[in-house]
Structure 1
């Protein structure tokens, strides 16, 4: 019989996570939102789903998206001005997602999440040569290293024990929420399940780029499926970044 009551333990929002630490919501500077109108729409809809704070992380990738503090702060100002004009009160800030390749330079003053947490990524196809040294050098300078979406690095999919190597180096892991929805395919979902089962994740985030991502994520959230899958996991988003 149909009932208006929610099923036990069903949560149809994402307030339990609260802070989105990885997204591409800033307009016109990478492969995410193309303009401020789209940015505002995505932010509004994510807020309605229960996110209370956004730490936007546009790519810094010399070959494709050579962003810097100026391009990122300018795009952030556009969004903040748009939010103010629209009467939307949203807690939003920006850092970056750094591609670790031959162009990346370890130095002070990199664009970080609050508390000197730095978000890094690699090619999905092959591990960056010398990544161990890069991580070591970042940590020497006081950075807390977060590896974005480890489940998506195909070069580790058949060698799951390798993930322990990163953890032994003090690297924190950030799950893409869409991975557990199967958005990136069954293999990525399998690896995300492994990392979850072994309690290797520290954070979770949308890594949202566009409305297609939002559609899949919204369905998983409002159905209660995402909470059922992840709601009891001890992600540190609120603890560290609220």
Structure 2
């Protein structure tokens, strides 16, 4: 017996659910170059679903992780163009751009010899190890700023070594880092501890931006589930995220 996963249809999506953010700055919608979508049709489908929920601009951010996903403008440009062309063929003119989610490790420093892919202006999305805090983190963030970039730390709530101590997050802010919380974290998708950390970041007013971090259909279903959580919807709609300014 074969079982088929049913795609979420636009008619099932809560209208304007994500209108509070407007711009999604974190997703993996360039096909075949990281652990996100693998086909152009899937990327287009996800973009249409985000639009149905109130997203009016997408800056998609493939992983740039040199030992696993050695992406750059050269590897991203062609598959991104296929998605953009498919959208245009359907008459869909949503602003759709690409940047990158840079993994900070020893292999990152040489990348700064060339211009980095920014979300907008000088904003650069970065992530770090989930296993342990890199001892060079402050130096890497300093180097980014010295080069004229503003680092945006992706999903800080997902780094377990920061849990239980809000001072770590405040330190990131103090050294000039913006913090981007995942919507999926607030739904409990990654577990209770991550959810609590995300909630604490919002309660403390430390989060600057949010993003879907959309990779696949399961993520999309978790995001649509926000529509059933009245308390979370109210929290998101009241929080002063800066996405709409990008």
Partner of 1:31: 35
Secondary structure of 2:34's aligned partner: coil
Aligned partners of 1:168, 1:138: CA distance in 2, in Å?
15
Q: What is the aligned partner in structure 2 of residue 3 from structure 1?
A: none
- Change in Cα spacing, 1:46 to 1:213, as seen in structure 2 (3 Å) is same
Are residue 110 (structure 1) and residue 119 (structure 2) matched? Answer: no
Partners of 1:11 and 1:34 in 2: CA distance: 27
Deviation digits for residues 133-183 of structure 1, max 9, x if unmatched? 111111111101100000000111133321111111010000100111100
Give the 3-state SS of the residue equivalent to 2:21 in structure 1.
coil
Matches of 2:90 and 2:107 in 1, distance apart? Answer: 39
Tell me how large the CA RMSD over aligned residues is. 1.6
TM-score (norm: length of structure 1): 0.91
Match of 1:90 in 2: 94
Deviating above 6 A after TM superposition, structure 1's stretches of 4 or more consecutive aligned residues are none
In the alignment, the residues of structure 2 paired with residue 147 and residue 97 of structure 1 have an alpha-carbon distance, to the nearest angstrom, of 9
Q: Report the alpha carbon displacement of residue 202 of structure 1 after superposing the two structures with TM.
A: 0.4
Say which structure, 1 or 2, has more relative contact order (CA 8 Å, 6+ apart). 1
Aligned length: 231
- C-alpha change, 1:72 and 1:167, in structure 2 (3 Å) is same
Does residue 194 of the first structure (1) align with residue 194 of the second (2)? no
1:7 corresponding residue in structure 2? none
Alpha-carbon separation, structure 1, partners of 2:46 and 2:16: 18
After superposition, the C-alpha distances for 1:214-233 in whole angstroms (9 at most, x for unaligned) are 01101213665542121111
Which residue of the partner structure matches residue 5 of structure 2?
Answer: none
Change (3 A) 1:117 1:194: same
- Selected match of 1:157 from 150, 160, 163: 163
Q: Alpha-carbon deviation of 1:11?
A: 8.0
In the alignment, the residues of structure 1 paired with residue 40 and residue 143 of structure 2 have an alpha-carbon distance, to the nearest angstrom, of 36
- Give the match's secondary structure for 2:143: helix
From 143, 146, 154, give the equivalent of 2:152: 146
Provide the residue aligned with 1:68 in structure 2: 72
Q: Do the aligned residues in 1 keep the contact of 2:16 with 2:54 (CA within 8 Å)?
A: no
Q: Whole-Å Cα distance in 2 between the matches of residues 95 and 25 of structure 1? A: 11
Give 1:68 shift: 1.0
Shift in alpha-carbon separation, 1:142–1:221, aligned structure 2, 3 A: farther
Q: CA deviation at 1:108?
A: 4.6
| 1: CA distance, partners of 2:91 / 2:229 | 29
The 8 Å contact of residues 15 and 52 in structure 2, kept in 1 or not, is answered as no
SS in 1 for 2:144: helix
Structure 2's unaligned 5+ residue stretches are 1-13
**TM-score, normalization by structure 2:** 0.90
